[in-house]
Amino acid sequence: MRNIKKRKRYITIILLSFLTIVSGCNKVNDSNKDIDENARTGSSDTNVSNSATDANASNGASDDAQTIVDDTAINGENDATETASKESTADQYKKYKEYISPKKKEEIHLDSESESLYEGFLYGDIKAEYVLDGDITRALCLAEVLTDGESYTLTEIEEKLCDGCEYAEDWIYENNICEEYIDLGLDGTYELKTDIGAAAFNLTLVVKNVDGHLKICFAGDSWDSSFITVLFTGGVSLFNRESNTIHSAEQGFLDENGNYKFWNRSKEEGFHIGETGDLYYNDQFIGSGIGLYVIEISFDTEAVEPYYYVYIVDIDNNTLEEENSNPQDPYNLARAALEAEGKNAITMDELQILQDEKRQEIGFDDKLYYYGEELKPDEE
């Protein structure tokens, strides 16, 4: 169970991406601004049983019927208890998610200078410096149309993207700007986190007030199969679904100065998922009636020496526990198959050590990483 929980902890932040792209955001009303309206057009069992009883039914049949009624009542009570438990867990998870997510403006105390600067940027009146090191966009490629160290208004960024990026025609928006705030370093000052877009693409920017001028310290983009998440403490996750069984991800964080720090990059591939029969990997038998996920993970941007770890699932895609002491345990067999392939296979415990070492190295300390953990429901 310990390894299962570690795996769940590792991917929880990434999975939040599905829930946090633009939900619950305040939209900026720019109807009174001098903006070209043409540039801002765009998209926005239960089976019912028969109740009649055969009049000639025997007493035994009646007893059977009563037994069914009793069992139904008991099962109904059990189902109700289970439903209530699920609802309670869902409510608890919702509170946890809200706590670690960016805040609306009315939920924080923003200083007047920052408020004025951020508002000016959102309305296209004030420029912000573009920083290449914090840019992980892939479709809305800011690096192709903006210059590192130069400053731009939001209107200029929009225009340059529309003129120089092939995907920007599906990005043009109309009054569709999300305004939220985060607290990098939990130092009591706040940074603007904004999502901009409609139709196919969404642009996420984090803007920081640095001694009276604005800095775009992070930029990322999302679409239907790729999601960016920025948490209240500056944790950043990118999740990309390449196919039903292949996913990739990147994790990093923004420090108190607004500098983006890369943490890790990973790619997950599933084998024999949801299938019966025997599972083989690299021509080696792993087990029967199970599926295998192989994750390649690197803690350097060039992925020079990646590590590989695995987790095993049943036919319903539930993670199975590992038995380290059993040489024929599927986990041990899978790691042996990876090593035979020349790959550096590690256990989940070893992954945890590597992950924590790198996290601490880049300054993503426990206070930031485990922020709100006390509100998170137990994962069994």
pLDDT digit string (tens) for 300-345? 988 888 999 999 999 999 999 998 889 899 999 999 999 999 999 9
- pLDDT band for position 197 (50/70/90)? confident
Q: Is 270 inside a domain boundary? A: yes
Residue 137 and residue 239 share a domain? yes
Which one of 210, 239, 255 terminates a domain? 255
Enclosing domain of residue 316: 261-362
Q: Is 379 inside a domain boundary? A: no
Residue 208 and residue 99 share a domain? yes
Structure tokens belonging to residue 34: 């001098």
Q: Is the pLDDT of residue 26 over 70?
A: no
Q: Is 368 inside a domain boundary? A: no
Pairwise CA distance, residues 1 & 323, whole Å: 10
Mean pLDDT of 170-199: 86
The predicted-structure confidence for 259-294, as pLDDT tens digits, reads as follows 999 999 999 999 999 999 999 999 999 999 999 999
Q: Is 37 inside a domain boundary? A: no
The predicted-structure confidence for 66-78, as pLDDT tens digits, reads as follows 444 455 445 555 5
Domain count, the chain: 2
Residue 116 and residue 265 share a domain? no
Minimum mean pLDDT among 16-30, 60-74, 193-207, 215-229: which range?
60-74
Q: Is the pLDDT of residue 161 over 60?
A: yes
Q: What is the pLDDT of residue 85?
A: 56
Share of the chain above pLDDT 70, in %: 74
Taking the CA atoms of residue 334, residue 336, residue 338 and residue 342 in that order, the dihedral angle to the nearest 10 degrees is 180
Q: What is the pLDDT of residue 47?
A: 37
Strand order in the sheet with 226-230: 226-230, 235-241, 246-254, 260-271, 291-298, 307-313
Q: What is the pLDDT of residue 167?
A: 79
Q: 75 in the Ramachandran plot: left (φ > 0), alpha (ψ -120 to 50) or beta? A: alpha
Residue 309 and residue 235 share a domain? no
Residue 275 and residue 219 share a domain? no
Neighbours of 243 (CB within 10 A): 9
Pairwise CA distance, residues 271 & 287, whole Å: 12
Residue 242 and residue 299 share a domain? no
- The single-letter code of the amino acid at 141 is C
What one-character DSSP code corresponds to residue 36?
-
Neighbours of 356 (CB within 10 A): 13
Does residue 3 or residue 355 have the better pLDDT? 355
Given a contact cutoff of 8 angstroms between Cβ atoms, the answer to whether 250 and 208 are in contact is: no
Q: How far apart are the first and last CA of the chain?
A: 8
Question: Who contacts 299 (Cβ-Cβ below 8 Å, separation ≥6)?
Answer: 263, 264, 354, 355, 358
Minimum mean pLDDT among 49-53, 126-130, 235-239, 257-261: which range?
49-53
- pLDDT band for position 378 (50/70/90)? confident
Beta strands 278-281; 284-288: pairing state: antiparallel
Residue 285 and residue 238 share a domain? no
- pLDDT band for position 60 (50/70/90)? very low
Given a contact cutoff of 8 angstroms between Cβ atoms, the answer to whether 206 and 258 are in contact is: yes
Pairwise CA distance, residues 29 & 176, whole Å: 8
- pLDDT band for position 50 (50/70/90)? very low
Residue 231 and residue 199 share a domain? yes
Q: Is the pLDDT of residue 53 over 50?
A: no
Q: Is the pLDDT of residue 105 over 50?
A: yes
Q: Is 43 inside a domain boundary? A: no
What one-character DSSP code corresponds to residue 116?
H
Q: Is 369 inside a domain boundary? A: no
Residue 133 and residue 243 share a domain? yes
Residue 266 and residue 236 share a domain? no
Q: What is the pLDDT of residue 55?
A: 34
CA-to-CA separations, 146 to 141, 163, 171, in angstroms, rounded: 9, 12, 17
Q: Is the pLDDT of residue 65 over 50?
A: no
- pLDDT band for position 97 (50/70/90)? very high
What value does the mean pLDDT of the chain take?
Answer: 82
Question: Who contacts 125 (Cβ-Cβ below 8 Å, separation ≥6)?
Answer: 153
Residue 148 and residue 6 share a domain? yes
Q: Is 107 inside a domain boundary? A: yes
- pLDDT band for position 154 (50/70/90)? very high
CA-to-CA separations, 239 to 51, 114, 247, 265, in angstroms, rounded: 52, 31, 7, 10
SS3 call for 159: helix
Residue 307 and residue 236 share a domain? no
Given a contact cutoff of 8 angstroms between Cβ atoms, the answer to whether 240 and 221 are in contact is: no
